[in-house]
Amino acid sequence: MNLPKSILCCFGSAFLLVIAYPQIEYWPLAWVALVPLLFALDGKTFRQAWGGGFLFGFLFFFATVGWLMYVTVPGAVLLVAYLALYTAFFARGFVYFQKFPVISRVFVLSSLWTVLEFIRAHLFTGFGWVMLGHSQYKNLLLIQIADITGVYGVSFLVVLVNLVVFETLRAVFKKEEGVFGKLWRLQMITVGLLSASLVYGVWIFSRGSSSTMVRVAVVQPNIPQKIKWDERYMSFIIRQTLDLTDTAAQDHPDIILWPETSLPGVLSEHPSYFKQIQLKARHLKIPIVMGTIIEDHHHYYNSAVFIDSDGTMRGKYHKIHLVPFGEFLPLRFLLGWINRFVPLEDFTSGTEYTLFPVGNWAHRFGVLICFEDTLDDLWRNFTKAGGEFFMNMTNDAWFMDTKAPFLHLQAAVFECVQNKRSLVRAANTGVSGFVDSLGRIIALAHDPTGKKTFVRATASADIPLEHRETFYTKYASFFTTLCFACILWALAVARKRYA
């Protein structure tokens, strides 16, 4: 394939894959979206494949996470370029393993994509959004395997199908003799894996969820980012959130959840506003979980505060996983010069997996702040500590009215499935709502037109409380370790073969 056609195929794959994600969300396209890219890489040199993989990755990630430009244009471009390196590595691997027999080649390349996603989710504090498997978050039966493999198992299957489709089409177009028997076996293996995954999903759904419920309400105040930290507007912000709390209380919830930093300031510096919130909880006789900043011995924490139905502050959780360049400056001894241009003070990370009570400690839940609801380790540790469901308070107003809040929700759905725990989300500007332990979106806050982001709204729902730990919660690295082992085996074989 000549260069113009190869470039066109890279554009085509990026376009098809973007459509599989929010907000269009035509998820079936993900199963064939990589096929044009694979044709573009076929027969290329390492250098050409690297360039094609990078181009595809840059286009795809720019279209899906380019909303970071609302925060920082240089940072967004650098992040997109960094993420594109992972697809470039996959493209190079595609060429490197091209001489393997078709069945082993397909499984090695599926493992390679999976391993690269795992590394991306963990290296340099990790960026685990827009995984290939995330595109399937509405494919509820299939994604239940995530409680064994994590999202990585779903990504593996999607890449596998793309590769099988590519190998089949290539054999047909090139009229390759002697390969169709092997392809038939590969196709049957693939169909078997997909069927087994769906059967497992049916079995999981047949078990149902817990019959023990807690009713939770969320408020979405829709405070513009440009005024959120302006003290002149603090009274307005608190008043608007309290008014929405009155509306939410009409559904008689057991708990009401506010968004991240819903009291936008240091708690100890605004006692009068905190008093208003305490009085509201006491008046409604409903606990309120709110976000704010807490100062303790000259350390500042992004925190969640639990206010009981009698107005007493019963506990607080300090955010554990901070956002680099947002809540702290990494490698400050090297990058301290940045403060000359952008003042940035460091928050302090929390260290405790704090759980809050439902009904006099009969049941307990954890709170995840900002994008903590997309982080495997936090979910698993909170679950092991005894959390029976989770709340997420966040503020995605930084990214304006883009697909960012929906990508955030998409990633969080998988954490629910992986750990079989329900999630309640209160976002300042959306998406706010409820996801059960099977990944079903129960309800989302919206205005009368159905709009879910950048609107004032409340919502409430009954959330099941779960107790069992999944295989993934206990042994999260099992599947990715198998993929790593597959890559190591392939490298050892390739070294002998190419020596």
Tokens 């240089």 correspond to 74
Residues 6+ apart with CB under 8 A from 169: 35, 39
Ramachandran region of residue 25, left (φ > 0), alpha (ψ -120 to 50) or beta?
left
Using the 8-state DSSP alphabet, how is residue 391 labeled?
E
Identify which of 31, 57, 275 has the alpha carbon closest to the alpha carbon of residue 142. Answer: 31
Q: Return the C-alpha torsion angle 142, 143, 149, 153, nearest 10.
A: 70
Residue 166 CA to residue 316 CA, distance in Å, equals 52
| Whole-number Å distance between alpha carbons of 326 and 304 | 18
**In this structure, what are the phi and psi dihedrals at residue 67, rounded to the nearest 5 degrees?**
-60, -15
Q: What is the residue type of 399?
A: F
Q: What would the two tokens of residue 476 be?
A: 């999260």
| Buried b / exposed e along 123-162 (16+ C-beta atoms within 10 A) | eeebbbbbbbbbbbbebbbbbbbbbbbbbbbbbbbbbbbb
Active site residue 275: no
Evaluate the omega torsion of the peptide bond into residue 102 and state whether it is cis, within 30 degrees of 0.
Answer: no
Q: In the numeric block, which tokens belong to residue 210?
A: 């817990």
Catalytic residue among 44, 280, 316, 319: 319
**Cα 494 to the center of its chain, rounded Å:** 35
Edge-first strand listing for the sheet containing 389-394: 355-358, 363-369, 389-394, 422-427, 433-435, 441-444
Using DSSP, state whether 44 is helix, strand or coil: coil
Is-catalytic flag, 176? no
Q: At what angle do helices 151-174 and 102-122 cross, to 10 degrees?
A: 140
Sign of CA dihedral 113, 149, 417, 314: negative
Q: Could you say which of 9, 370, 416, 486 is catalytic?
A: 370
For this structure, is 117 an active site residue? no
Catalytic residue among 117, 260, 372, 466: 260
Q: Mind telling me the catalytic residues?
A: 260, 319, 370
